[in-house]
Amino acid sequence: MRSDILSFSAVVAASLVASSDLVSASSNIELENEGIVNVGSLRKLKKGKKGEEGGKKIAKKAKKAKKGTTSDSMAFSTVGPPDGENVCHEKKVEIANVQCVIDQVNQTGEQSGTNVTEGYKGNQATTAVPITVPYYQKGLCPVNVHWHLGTEHLSAGEYDETGTGPTEIAHRRKLAGKARQGFQCNLYDDSEDMFTSHYDWKYCTDMEVGQTYEVHWPHSTIGACGTVNQFQSPFYDGVFCYSELLTADTVINENVGVQAQVFTIVNDEDYYYPDLMRGMIVDGDFGADVAKYTGSTTGTSRDNDVCSGYSPITWQVDRKCHMVSASTFDKMCADMLSQRDDMSGDVYPHGSRALVADHLAADNHSR
């Protein structure tokens, strides 16, 4: 990288307008079913209402109905908090994309998404060190959730160029010029109903049972953690909510990170998880094999010619592909629509950036 290129931290600091009132960022990090069963209500019932008349019988009946079943749709609340000030509104710090390489010299920091197969390391030398412990241990909180059609990362044998899935929505979106599809998981089996049976999406849009999606949870130490303004769209507003606390000496990759996890959607309530909005699932094989490295923001405005200036930031990427129910995603979208900020711009799959070339990928990939 050229020595005269400003660091990401310096660019961020230089972009900030001096504030006379420094806002403290020390906030504490704090349904009825229209298908077969409302799993969220079931779990509440089982925990808190077993002593009520008939409660045990209802819970038992609902649990029996849930086991191994598909559903046409699920209904969740989208009622949000009272209107109030969104302190993160338009807090994005603008950093332009740049030409990746000029005269064989990289013009910006390491990029994402990369190959995350165990043992892979990129060729771009970097002094940045990724966060290797769970983000909450370093004071970062999730400030957004969004997902991509197919995957932006590659994990050989899990989600790669040999993966398969349904093509209807992906083909339609491609023809409309709306989204580039990334890699797919190797779990899809069109002979099994859970990969093909219809689900009536109520809150997410342009989604498809059987399809692969890569979910991203941007995290930040300067988000509105533990408040009603924690989750923001676009995610930059959440990441930079209290950006006035940054200085040219701030190590960005110690304060900004992204979790990524890859899913194949199935219509089977055995695979329901109720709180996907708030971060990577860590349960058994979920979140057990995670690549850590430093990279950049992603999206289809970047490729191997045009790079993101938002670098370096930490990435923690689950190498495995997992199955979750369609209702898991629909519940997440309902939760997003119940936030104070308008997150409707993120309840559909975004296009996937092309896999980052080795010369733009950091050499610090680790497990």
CB 350, CB 145: distance < 8 Å: no
Q: Which tokens hold the place of 1?
A: 């990288």
pTM of the model: 0.83
Q: Which tokens hold the place of 87?
A: 């302190």
Helix (H) or strand (E) holding 55: helix 55-66
What is the spatial distance between Cα 128 and Cα 324, in angstroms, rounded to a whole number? 34
Amino acid at site 185: C
pLDDT at 8: 58
Phi-psi region of 188 (alpha: psi -120 to 50; beta: other; left: phi over 0): beta
What is the spatial distance between Cα 266 and Cα 96, in angstroms, rounded to a whole number? 38
> Residues 6 or more apart from 16 whose CB is under 8 A from it?
93, 243, 244, 246
Going 234 to 149 to 353 to 7, the CA torsion angle's sign is positive
Residue identified by tokens 């704090």 is 30
Three-state DSSP at 142 gives strand
What is the spatial distance between Cα 203 and Cα 190, in angstroms, rounded to a whole number? 25
What is the spatial distance between Cα 314 and Cα 258, in angstroms, rounded to a whole number? 6
Helix (H) or strand (E) holding 164: none
What is the spatial distance between Cα 242 and Cα 240, in angstroms, rounded to a whole number? 6
Extended strands (E) in 124-245: 141-142, 146-149, 159-160, 184-185, 212-220
Phi-psi region of 216 (alpha: psi -120 to 50; beta: other; left: phi over 0): beta
Going 61 to 203 to 86 to 222, the CA torsion angle's sign is positive
The angle that helices 55-66 and 39-48 make with each other, rounded to 10 degrees, is 150
pLDDT at 339: 97
What is the spatial distance between Cα 35 and Cα 268, in angstroms, rounded to a whole number? 12
pLDDT at 367: 81
Longest dimension (CA), the chain: 76
Q: Is 85 exposed, middle or buried (0-12, 13-18, 19+ CB in 10 A)?
A: exposed
What is the spatial distance between Cα 150 and Cα 125, in angstroms, rounded to a whole number? 28
Three-state DSSP at 193 gives helix
CA count, 13 A, side-chain hemisphere, 125: 3
Taking the chain (367 residues) in runs of 10, the rounded mean pLDDT of each run is: 48 49 36 36 36 40 51 79 94 97 95 98 97 98 97 97 80 62 94 96 96 97 98 98 93 98 98 98 98 97 97 98 98 97 97 96 94
Helix (H) or strand (E) holding 315: strand 313-325
Going 178 to 183 to 189 to 194, the CA torsion angle's sign is negative
What is each CA distance from 158 to 48, 154, 188, 262, in whole angstroms?
Answer: 39, 8, 11, 9
What is the spatial distance between Cα 304 and Cα 69, in angstroms, rounded to a whole number? 44
Three-state DSSP at 18 gives coil
